[in-house]
Structure 1
C-alpha cells in the first residue's frame, strides 16, 4: 500500500493494480508513451536488503554540499507518497504531483501502484532536471520497475534473505536479483556481503566489464545517523561520490555533507528518551541491537514492537530479546499487520504486554530507554498522533 496514492488515482481516474508484479515490460511500455523521461539525466541506482535509504541520503548530502541539485526516489514511503519523490531533500509538493499525475492519466499501459509511482518519479525528475537522480529499487533489482535506467553507478549496500516469495529462498537467488542493477562498463560500489553474494556480484561485474569498488578504512566524521552500520553506509556514499565527482571531489565538502545528513526512523529520538527505528528484518535488527548497545550501554531498554506478518518477525524478536526483557506488542490498523497476540505468544520475555496503537503513550519510565520498532507504517502512525501524546507531557 502506497499511502496517499488513492486520492490522486481517484481524481485523475487512474486505474492500477495494488499487487506486486515483477517485470519490466509494463513500465517500459508506459515510459515509452511518456517520451522516455528516464533516458535523460545522471542516475545512481541502489539495490540491497538494508542501507539503501541511508546510503542514498548520505550521497545526496555529499553531492548537495558540492553545489549540485539532487533528486531522490525512496522506497517505501515514511509519511506518504510525497516523501518518496524528493528534490534536494524536500518532498514533492501536491501541485507538482498533480501535474505529473495528469500526464500519467493519459497513458494506456496497465500498471501496478509502484510502477505508477516509479513513472511519476521519472517525470518529476525530467521536469526538475536535477544534476543527479538517486533511485532506490523497491524490491530485488533485475525485475524491479526502477531497473529501466542506465545509471552512471550502482550501489549494493547489503544482501540478506528477504521477500522469498518473489526473490527466491536462497541467498544466491536473491543476490542474482540484486546484481541485475549492474550495467555494462558502469562501476558498482558494494558493502560487506556474504561470500556467496560477493562471488555472484563479482562474476556479474566481470561479465559486464564493471569495476567493483569496496570501501576500505573508516570515516572520521561525526554523523547524526547513529550506529556502526551508518558508518559503513556513509563510507559507501563517500566512495560513490568520489567516483561521480572525480577531480571536483572535496574531502571538506564531503565531510560537511555527511555530518548534516538525517533520515527519519533511523535511531531517531522522536520523544524524550524514545527512539524510533524501523528494524523489520534480521539484518536491520542486528544493526539496531548493536546501536543500542553502543549508545545506551548501561540503560534498561523497553521495546515497543509492531510488525507486518510477511516479515521475519521471529528473527527480529530473537535479536531484540538479547538486549531487553520488557516488551510491549502493538496492534495497528493495516491489513498486513501481525496480531500483537502472535508476537506475545512467540516472545520469551519476562515482562510483556499487548496494547492497541491508540493506547500507546511513548514516554519512558524508570530511567528506561524506549525503542519503538518494526513496521515503518506503525512508526508513521505514532508520529502523526504526536499531538495527542504530547498533551501528556504538559
Structure 2
C-alpha cells in the first residue's frame, strides 16, 4: 500500500503536462473598466490553441446575473463558424466581435452607445474540445453630471443667513461639488461653510461684501459641468416704515370699502322708496269749497223765494225766523248730521208788511203785469 501511493503520484505527474496544456485565454486586461454613458468600450478576450484542441470552436459572451438565483444573459455567440448577435435584446445592434473571424484567436467584442444598464460583470468563454478557457471582467458605465442648477435659499439681506445650493438631475455618484467666487477678490465669505458632497455653501450673518458672481462645478470620474449664480446683498429694510405704510394702506382700503358700501345702500334704499311710491294707490282729494259761490247761490235762492211770494203770505214768511238772516260760514259748513243752532233772540223782528192789494186795472195802468201766484203752505213752500 505504501508503494502504491508513490506510483500513483508518478502517474499523475506524468499526465499533468497534458492537463495543463491546450486552449488558454491570454488576456491581460484590467479586471474593472469605467466608461461614461454614450461612449464605446472594447472587452478583450485573446486565446491560444494547441494541436490537441481539434473540436469545433465555440465563443460565448454573457452578462452574469447579480443574483445567483437568476439566469445569466447571453450577449453574443460564435458557433459553427457563424456569429449570433441578437441574443440580448437590450444590446441589439450595439455589440459586435472585434474581428470578422474570431477563430484566429481574437474573441474580443465592442459595445457602443453605452448605457447605465450595461453595467455588470461580463464573462468570455472559449471552447474547443477538449480545451476550454474563460475570463471575467467588470464594466461600470457612469453617467456624467447633467447641467447643474444654482439657487439661493433665504433672504438676501444684510445680517441674514443664506444657503447657496448646487444640484444636478443626473450623474453617477460619487459626485463632487466645488464653489468659487469669480468677481472681486475671488474669495468666499469668511463665514461660509462648504459641503462638497451636498453642493451647498452656508453663509451666516452675510454682509454686502459677499455680493458677486459665484460658479459651481459638479463632477465625477467621467465628466463635469457648471452653473453661475449672481448674488446681491441688500441693506436691511426699514421695518417700522413698512409696518406704518401697511397700516395706512389697510385703513385706506377699509375707508374706500365703507364709502362704496354706503353709496350702494343709499342707492338701494332710494330705488326701493321710488318703487313703493309708484305702487301706492292714492285717493283723490276733493276740491275746496267756494264760500262766495255758496253764499251767492243761497242768497239767490232766497230772493227767488221772496219774489214768488205775494203780500198775502208775506206775513207768514216774516214770522219765520230762519228766513230773516243769511246763514254764517260756520252754519253752512256744518255737516248735515249736526242740528242747526237756535236763532238769536236779540234780533228785532221785522214789522209786518201792509196788506195792500192792488187791483188788476190799477196794475195795468201803472205798467205792471199781473202774475198769478201759486198757493203756499204755512212753511213757505209752493203747494
Larger helix fraction of residues: 1
Is this a same-fold pair by TM over 0.5?
no
TM norm structure 1: 0.17
Answer 1 or 2: higher relative contact order, Cα 8 Å, separation at least 6: 1
Give the alignment's TM-score, normalised by structure 2.
0.18
Q: Which has the larger radius of gyration?
A: 2
